[in-house]
Amino acid sequence: MSEPFAAAATTTASESPVPPEPIIAVEHVYKSVTDSTGTLEILRDIDFRLAPQETAAIVGASGSGKSTLLSIIAGLDTPTRGTVRLAGQDLFALDEDERAALRARQVGFVFQSFQLLGNLTALENVMLPLELAGSRDARRRATEMLGRVGLGQRLSHYPKVLSGGEQQRVALARAFVVEPAVLLADEPTGSLDFATGETIMELMFALNREQGTTLVLVTHDRAIAARCDRRITIEAGRLV
C-alpha cells in the first residue's frame, strides 16, 4: 500500500463515528416470584440497550410483565437474575439509598394515576423534586414549567380541584422540571379520555424533544407506540 493511501485510510478510520454509550442497558434480566403454589416466571432473559435521546415503547398484553420491567429499569424492583445499568452505573450494585439518589439525579416518572400529593398545590408538587435536590430557585423553575404545560393560572390549585388532564400536566411538569436523562412513563394516558390523552402525549413528546430525554413508556396504545423510535414487545415474559 502506498504511503498516501495508507494515511488516507488511517484518517478515515479515525474519523468513524463512535456509537454512544447506552443510557440504559438491560442485561439478561429474569424476574420470578415464589409462593405456596410454586414459582411464577414474570420476566425471562430480557436484554436490550437504549441510546441517549432514544424513545421506546414497551408493549404487550396485560400481565405480560411490562410494568414489572419498567419498575426494574427504575431500580424500584429487583431482578432475580441480571442487572440494569443506568448511565453506566449498575443499579443493583447500589444499596436502596444510593439507587434513590441516582433516580433523583437521572430519572423522571409519569404514572397512570398521576401520583400527586393531595396536600400540596400544583406549584408545590412541581417544586418538591427541586427542593429535594437542593435547588435554590425551585419556585421560579416550577412556575416556568407549569406555564410551559399550560397551567400558569393554576399554580395555587390543589389536585382535587384539577381535572384528570390538568393533574397529568402537573405530573409532566414535575417529571421534566429536573431535566432528567431518562423519563419513565407507565400508561400515562390510561386514566384519560381519548382527546385529553392525545393532548397529553403531544405535550410529553414535545417536552422530550426539547430536553433531549430518553423516554421509555409502557402503553397498550398502538398509535402511541408507533411514535417511538423502538417498540419492545413482551409476550409471556419474553422479548418478541
Residue-range domain boundaries for the chain: 19-239
Question: Across the chain, where does the E strand assignment appear?
Answer: 24-35, 38-50, 55-59, 81-86, 89-90, 107-111, 182-186, 214-218, 230-235, 238-239
**Structure pTM?**
0.85
Q: How far is CA 147 from the centre of its chain?
A: 22
Q: What is the pLDDT of residue 158?
A: 97
Residue 167 has pLDDT above 70, yes or no: yes
Mean pLDDT over 65-84 rounds to 94
Q: What is the pLDDT of residue 237?
A: 92
Residue 8 has pLDDT above 80, yes or no: no
Residue 15 has pLDDT above 80, yes or no: no
Read off the pLDDT of residues 201-218 as tens digits, 9 standing for 90 and up: 999 999 999 999 999 999
Separation of alpha carbons 222 and 26, rounded Å: 23
Which one is the CATH code of 19-239: 3.90.1150.10, 3.40.50.300, 3.30.70.260, 3.50.50.60? 3.40.50.300
Residue 194 has pLDDT above 70, yes or no: yes
Separation of alpha carbons 25 and 17, rounded Å: 20
Separation of alpha carbons 17 and 35, rounded Å: 50
Q: What is the pLDDT of residue 13?
A: 52
Separation of alpha carbons 180 and 14, rounded Å: 32
